[in-house]
């Protein structure tokens, strides 16, 4: 687990780049990670690697409706000037 933070940064950077290319991404560490046969499904053995998560990449259906963005407070709501 020494390089876990580095891996998380790399996942974030890949997500940002893929978003730029109009792809959507999802980082998953949930129930699927504990599925029996996962390592076999990806062609690995338990002693060879440690799977920390799954990185999903895809594109949305262009015909699907897009949900409106939520209304957000102005940035000034979160900033405090210190003189």
Per-residue pLDDT of 25-37, as tens digits, reads 999 988 877 788 8
pLDDT, tens digit (0-9, with 9 covering 90-100), for 24-83: 999 998 887 778 888 888 888 776 677 888 899 999 888 888 888 899 999 999 998 888
Whether residue 73 contacts residue 29, with contact meaning beta carbons closer than 8 Å, is answered with: no
DSSP state of 33: G
Q: What is the pTM of this model?
A: 0.62
The two tokens of residue 50 are 């440690």
Helix (H), strand (E) at residue 10: helix 4-20
Do the Cβ atoms of 11 and 55 come closer than 8 Å? yes
């Amino acid at each position: 687990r020494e390089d876990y933070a580095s891996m998380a940064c790399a996942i974030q950077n890949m997500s940002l780049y893929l978003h730029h290319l109009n792809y959507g991404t999802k980082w998953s560490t949930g129930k699927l990670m504990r599925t029996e046969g996962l390592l076999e499904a990806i062609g690995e053995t338990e002693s060879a690697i440690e799977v920390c998560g799954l990185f999903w990449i895809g594109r949305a259906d262009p015909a699907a409706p897009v949900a409106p963005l939520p209304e957000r407070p102005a940035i000034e709501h979160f900033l405090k000037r210190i003189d």
